[in-house]
Amino acid sequence: MKKFGLTLLTAFVGGAMALGTYKVIENKYANNMSFEDKQKVYYATSNHLTPATSAIVSSAGAVDFTQAAAAVTPAVVYIRTTYSNQSDNDKQSQLQQMFGDMFGQRMRPSGPQMASGSGVIISPDGYIVTNNHVVEKADKIEIVTNDHRNYSAKVVGTDPSTDLALIKIDGHDLPIVKLGNSDAVKVGEWVLAVGNPFKLTSTVTAGIVSAKGRGIGIIGSEDRQDENPFGRTQYQSQQPKLNKAIESFIQTDAAINPGNSGGALVNTNGELIGINSAIASHTGSYEGYGFAIPINLAKKVLDDIEKYGAVKRGYVGISFAELDQDKAKELKVDRTYGLYVSSVLPGGGAEQAGLKEGDIITKVEGNTVYESSDLQERVGRLRPGDKINITALRGSDEKNFAITLKADAPTPKMAVSKSAEEMFNRIGASFVPLNAAQKAKFHVNGGVLVTQVREDGLFDNTEIPVGSVITEVNRQPISSVGALDKALSNPRNGVLVIGGLYPDGSRLRVALQVQ
C-alpha cells in the first residue's frame, strides 16, 4: 500500500510540474519522506539524469567510469571549517585529533584553526552528509560546490557513534548523488572515491571493494596522538572502543587521502554506497586501505536526524566477546567464530527473549555472524520497538530468538543516599552485584557488574562499557552495590579512580573528574 501511495505521488508530482506547481508538492511532502523517497520524486520530476542501472563496458572490455564520475562529481562538495583558538585543556574532539592532521587537513596557525573535508549532497533542497569529525565543534562551516558556488552551512545533527553528520545549506534543485544499496556490494567490484584530497577539489579515484564489515576500533578510541601522529598506524587504538560505536566499514583500495573525509564512495552506476571516513596509514597518506560507512546504515541515521534531531537507537541488551581460536580456548568453547554472550542486561530485550550468558550468537537475520560488526550494523539500522532475529548456539543446539529492541532507558532508581543518587545520575551507569559464576569467570572475590551506561554519562565518555566489573574505587575494595554507594559519595578532591576489569578480562583503571 505504501509503495502504491508513492507511485501515485510520483505521478501526481509529474503532472504538477507541467502546471508549474512542483514546489508546492515538494514542500507538502518533504517532511514526511525519507531521503531515499525524496530522491525518487527528484528523479521523476526533474531534468537530471537517473544514474545508469548497469556498469558501462568499453570496447576494450574494461569498465568505463566516465558516466558515474560525471553523475557524482557535481554533488560532492568541499567543506571548510573554522574553529576558535583553544587551550591545551580544551582540545578538539577525539576523532578530530585522530583525523585532523591526516584526514581533515587541520592546520595549526596562531589565529583561528582551519580544517577541510568533503560532503555529499543527498537532497535537492540542500541536505549534505559528511563525517562528524569533519564538522564537530566548528564555529563556521563553508560549502563550496563543484561549480564554485559558496554557501554557509548549519549542522542539523550529528551521530558520533557512526561518525556521521547531517548539515544543511539554503539551496534548491541542487544536484544529488543517488543512494545505493550497500548490502548488494560485493568484494572485488569496482568503486570510485570522490572528494577533495589535499584541497584538490573534485578528485576521482578508482579501486575495488577489498572487504566488508570491517571494525577497526577507531570510533571512540583513546589514541589521542599528542605526539607526532604520522608515526603510527592511523586507526590504531590503545583502549577498548566506545561501547556504542558502530563500525562495519566497507574497505576499499581506491586512493583516499587527507580531505577525502566525508566524501562519496560510489559504484560504477554512480550510486552512493558509502561515506569515506578513515584510512589505514603509518604516514597519514594513502597506503592502500580506506574505509567507508555503508550507506544502508547511514540512511537510517540521517533520516532520524532530520525527523527527530537525534538518532533513535535500539539495544539488544547484551555484552559480548568476539570468538577466535584464542578466545574460544580461554572460554573453553568449541566454536571459533561468532559472538560469546558475556552478560545479559536485566530487563533488556535479549533477556526477555530468552538469551542467556554463555550463548554464542551465530546468525543475525539468517546471516552468519563472524565478528561484532555483523551484529552491530544490523542493529544500528533499527529503532526501539523493532524486532531482530538472532540465532544462538546453546550447548549443541541452535535456538532462534526474536528480540524486541529497547530504548536506552534511564538508569533505574536505587535505594541510595541523595548524594550517591546524584553521583549515579552524573556518572550515568547502573550496577548489580556479581554472582558466583561471574566471580569465577573474572577470577575475583567481589565487585559489581556495569549493567547499563547512558550515552551522556561519565562512564560513556571514559569508555567503561556494559559488562565491565568494578572492584575498587580510590583503592577501596568494592564488594557490593552498597560499598559502591559509599565510595561514590566520597570522591577524593573531586576525583574517582575506578579499578576493575573490562568485559574481556583486561585491566580497567580510569580516573573520573566529578567536581
- Give the catalytic positions in this structure: 133, 163, 261
Residue of 229, 189, 291, 207 lying closest to 92 (CA atoms): 229
Q: In whole angstroms, what separates CA 118 from the centre of its chain?
A: 17
Q: The dihedral of CA 56, 61, 63, 67: what is its sign?
A: negative
Q: Which residue matches cell numbers 560532492?
A: 76
- CA–centroid distance for 346 within its chain: 26
SS3 440: helix
Residue that is written with C-alpha cell 580516573 in the block: 511
Question: Which residue type sits at 515?
Answer: Q
Look up residue 483 and give its amino acid: A
CA distances from 162 to 182, 202, 218, 338 (A): 15, 25, 10, 22
E strand residue ranges, 417-494 = 429-433, 448-453, 469-473, 476-477
Cα distance between residue 40 and residue 286, in whole Å: 35
Report d(CA 465, CA 58) in Å as an integer.
Answer: 52
Q: How far apart are CA 254 and CA 264, in angstroms?
A: 11
Helix axes 35-45, 295-308, angle to 10 degrees: 100
Q: How far apart are CA 257 and CA 286, in angstroms?
A: 5
Calpha distance 120→76 (Å, rounded): 5
